Structure 1
Amino acid sequence: MPRNNLGQFKPGTCGNPRGRPRKLPRKIHPDLLRADFFEISETLVPIIENGRRKLIPASLAIDKQLVLKAASGNLRAILEWSKMRHRHALEHVKRQLDCMEQLLKSEDILRKFPEDVTDEYKALTRNLRAAIDADYLP
């Protein structure tokens, strides 16, 4: 690049023709984000309950705040809590139905082949029956 005898660029020329390099964005992997999210949600935070200070996970503290806001009449909090309740109830029902399906299959095997079934299998079937809520049993 042409310069004069003082080392200055001639008028109309730039000393940095390519310009400043652009800042590259950090690459964040979704698995790392998910792991960080769950790790942070288990961080203990102090709360005061019944005049006593105690430490609870951040996710539980957030849920408590959401319930308190919903109970005070905050419409957004009510809607969010309703969505969470529906999602959790649906997951519970799906788990219970899966357990019921497994229980029915195992009891069917017990009826068809009583001589081939071991005591361990019977115990597992009893444990499976015990794991199901009483509301879902026939």
Structure 2
Amino acid sequence: MGRNNLGQFEKGTCGNPRGRRRKMPLRISDEQLREDFFNAAETLIPITEKGKRKLVPASHAIDMQLILKAASGDMKAIIEYNKRRERYTLEHLKLQLSNLEAIADAEYRIRKNPEDVTDEFKRVVTLLKASLDPYCRMP
């Protein structure tokens, strides 16, 4: 390398010709992002309700805030609340319908071949019937 008699680099000569190594970007997988999101949603947050302090998961605290804002008239919060309500209602209805289909299929099998049905199968059908939401109204 070109240095002068004072030990300095000559003009136009770089002291670090290879340069500084580039910083490698942090690679985060989709699975890691998903896991971090759900872990953060379960973080306990202190809230005050009726003068008492209690710890609730962050996702629950966010839902409570959304409902409070919607009740106070915030239009964006009302729209978001209605979207969530429709989505959760639809998911609940789909679950109830799939349980009803399974019960109907099981009862058909019991009626068609009663000798092939075990007591355990009948017990599972009874548990499935008990898991149905009695207040669920199909549109």
- State the SS of the aligned residue for 2:116: coil
Structure 1 residue 119: deviation in Å?
2.1
- Matched with 2:65 is 65
Instruction: Return 12-21 or 40-49, whichever deviates more.
Output: 12-21
**Residues paired across the two proteins, number:** 137
1:50 pairs with 2:68 = no
Q: C-alpha displacement at 1:136, in angstroms?
A: 5.9
Within 2, Cα distance between the matches of 1:28 and 1:82? 33
Query: 2:63, 2:126 → 1: CA distance?
Result: 35
Q: Cα 1:66–1:136, aligned 2, differ >3 Å: closer, same or farther?
A: closer
Q: CA offsets per residue over residues 31-56 of structure 1, 9 Å max, x none?
A: 12211211121111111101111111
Aligned to 1:8: 8
**1:133 counterpart residue number:** 133
Q: Which amino acid aligns with 1:118?
A: T
Deviating beyond 6 angstroms after TM superposition, the runs of 4 or more aligned structure 1 residues are none
Match for 1:133: what amino acid?
Answer: D
- Per-residue CA deviations over 1:105-137 (Å, capped at 9, x if unaligned) read 101101101122222222211111111123469
Asked if 1:100 is matched to 2:100, the reply is yes
Q: What percent of counterpart residues are identical?
A: 56
State the one-letter code of the partner of 2:92: H
Indicate the SS of the match to 1:53.
Answer: strand
RMSD: 1.7
Matching residue's letter, 1:46: P
Unaligned residue ranges in structure 2 (runs of 5+): none
Q: TM-score, structure 2 length as denominator?
A: 0.89
SS at match of 1:115: helix
Change (3 A) 1:136 1:69: closer
User: Which whole-Å CA distance do the structure 2 matches of 1:116 and 1:12 have between them?
Assistant: 92
Structure 1 residue runs without a partner (length 5+): none
1:35-80: CA deviation from partner (whole Å, max 9, x where unpaired): 1211121111111101111111111011101111111111221222
Please report how far the alpha carbon of residue 9 of structure 1 lies from its aligned counterpart in structure 2 after TM superposition. Answer: 1.0
2:85 is aligned with 1:85:
yes
